[in-house]
Structure 1
Amino acid sequence: MVPRAADDTVGLVGLLAQRGDYLESIADGVTEKRALVDAHDASRSTVDRAVRQLADAGLVDRTHGEVALTTTGRLALDAYTTFRNRVTGIDDANDVLDGVDDADDLDVRLFENATVVEAAHTPQKPMDEVADVIRTATEVRVLAPLVLPSHVEIYRDRVNENALAADVVVTQAVLDELVTNHQDTIETFVGSDDAALSFTNDDLPYGLVLASLDDRDVVLVVCGTGPVAGVLRNDTPDAVAWAADRFASARETATRLG
């Protein structure tokens, strides 16, 4: 098979954007042209044109009035759906990402099927989202570039109750504030077999909470190291894998207290 030229590939992406809904219908089992007419509330001529375009691009086969995805069509639809979901997630997160500087390691996987909790109209809502997760988690791995006193108290109390295993990495500035204002929390972490508190000299451009709940793992990215602009929440396996790698990288070079 001759590879597509660059212009042809651009054309294929455009076709997927224009006719991707037809591919989705066919993938879902709507394979007769008459059924496609009904499913898309379109004229027969419009459906014929769409199917012809998809067939010419090698995305579908036509046989006796029915249409089926080719292997190329299935793979192209999967790739386009992933691309569309990620771009949609990035666009939805645009305002909260304004609170993140120099975060070159943020991964596109984080944005696919993510939930965005903005602080613009309800400043406390993102922090409540994080607090609710901390209260219900059995284990957390955390990167903390700022001190949120209400969250510090939740960590301290749940570790004291032996209800939470916590591995927390903070910046030097956060550690200094904990020493000044939250010495009891430091003592709790240092004295617990199920908790660890470490500090790093590296900058943390965003906060990260990777939490294990009863039925799943969830990732929270806190955008903003001053005023919090919002929180991204995602529990997809790809997002969890990224968060685990990101935490492990920071933890490896951090210094543990105690």
Structure 2
Amino acid sequence: MPRSASLDLADVLLKRCECLRALSNQPQAKRELVESLDIPRSTLDDIVRDLEHADLVEYLDGEWQPTPLGQCTFNHHTRYKEGLESLTDAAPVINELPRTTPVDRHFLIDAEVHIATAPVPDDVIQILLNAVESATHIRGITALAMSGYADSFYRHATAGSDAQLELVLQPEIFERLRTINPNQTDNVLSDENTTLYHGDVPVSFSLWISDENHAGIIVHTDQSVKGIIINDTDDALDWATDQYNRVREDAELISKL
């Protein structure tokens, strides 16, 4: 389809979408459309004419209904609007990130967004703990750590029988945690089902992948957490896995005790 034709199609869809929506739900005669859309017959005539000229609707057996192109176009339009709604839902969280942070739109569309709220914004961390508790294999990267939740995360991520945990940390994060909680850190290092790496984590969020079921990111503020985003779509998992593999590839294993 030439670009000019697709632009014309987009213009018709923008202006005449409600009528196409009504016909997508159920083929109707014009008298029925006048009632369901609550518009004058003369206005409806103009709308249907535009849709017909764009090959989006056709008249069959006394009723107007979408053409195959019309139905596909309407479905695509609906999916596009739902995607915009997902991006809007995620905006309060991702707008906390630097402009250069690589959060792909595929990770945001159809995601669950959990925004931290006052007076205890850290409560949102429970979403993370619940998400990893039943997993058998957790992979993650983080450039930041909340020391008060490090032990809780470890216990929840390794709660399952033979659960595997792999984490890539910034070197200074690991050393800081080891200074604050030496016994706890030693216990983690001695756990045969937990593998820690240190290396450059060039993103300003924390990311985890739970089995192959879902992935999530935690967006931090200077003092706390802004929110958590979780997505279980294939596109989201592919993006998260790519982010993890890029960081893991250059990371070094932290020797076990």
The ranges of structure 1 where at least 4 consecutive aligned residues each deviate by more than 4 angstroms after the TM superposition are 34-48, 158-162
Q: Which residue of 2 aligns with 1:83?
A: 80
Please identify, of 118-127 and 201-210, the stretch whose mean Cα deviation from structure 2 is larger.
118-127
1:168 and 2:164 aligned: no
* Cα distance change of structure 1 residues 148 and 104 upon mapping to structure 2, 3 Å threshold: closer
Q: Distance in 1 between matches of 2:42 and 2:150?
A: 63
Q: Which residue of 2 aligns with 1:134?
A: 132
Structure 1: runs of 5+ lacking an equivalent: none
Give, in angstroms, the shift of residue 195 of structure 1: 2.2
Q: Which residue of 2 aligns with 1:198?
A: 197
Aligned residues between the structures: 251
Give, in angstroms, the shift of residue 25 of structure 1: 4.3
* Cα distance change of structure 1 residues 64 and 219 upon mapping to structure 2, 3 Å threshold: same
Give, in angstroms, the shift of residue 239 of structure 1: 1.6
Tell me if structure 1 keeps the 8 A contact 2:112–2:230.
Answer: yes
Query: In structure 1, what residue type is equivalent to 2:116?
Result: A
Q: Which residue of 2 aligns with 1:144?
A: 142
* Cα distance change of structure 1 residues 157 and 27 upon mapping to structure 2, 3 Å threshold: same
Q: Distance in 1 between matches of 2:32 and 2:102?
A: 45
Structure 2: runs of 5+ lacking an equivalent: none
Tell me if structure 2 keeps the 8 A contact 1:58–1:73.
Answer: yes
Residue correspondence of structure 1 range 18-37 to structure 2 within 5 A: 18-28=15-25, 30-33=26-29, 36=33
Give, in angstroms, the shift of residue 101 of structure 1: 1.1
Measured against aligned partners, the alpha-carbon deviations of 1:154-211 in whole angstroms (never above 9, x if no partner) come to 2332466554321211222322222212334443443334322112224222111222
Q: Distance in 1 between matches of 2:233 and 2:35?
A: 34
Give, in angstroms, the shift of residue 23 of structure 1: 3.7
1:218 and 2:214 aligned: yes
1:245 and 2:247 aligned: no
Please identify, of 195-204 and 149-158, the stretch whose mean Cα deviation from structure 2 is larger.
149-158
Tell me if structure 2 keeps the 8 A contact 1:206–1:221.
Answer: yes
| Equivalent in 47, 51, 59 of residue 48 of structure 2 | 51
Q: Which residue of 2 aligns with 1:114?
A: 111
Please identify, of 17-26 and 231-240, the stretch whose mean Cα deviation from structure 2 is larger.
17-26
| TM-score of the aligned structures, taking structure 1 as reference length | 0.80
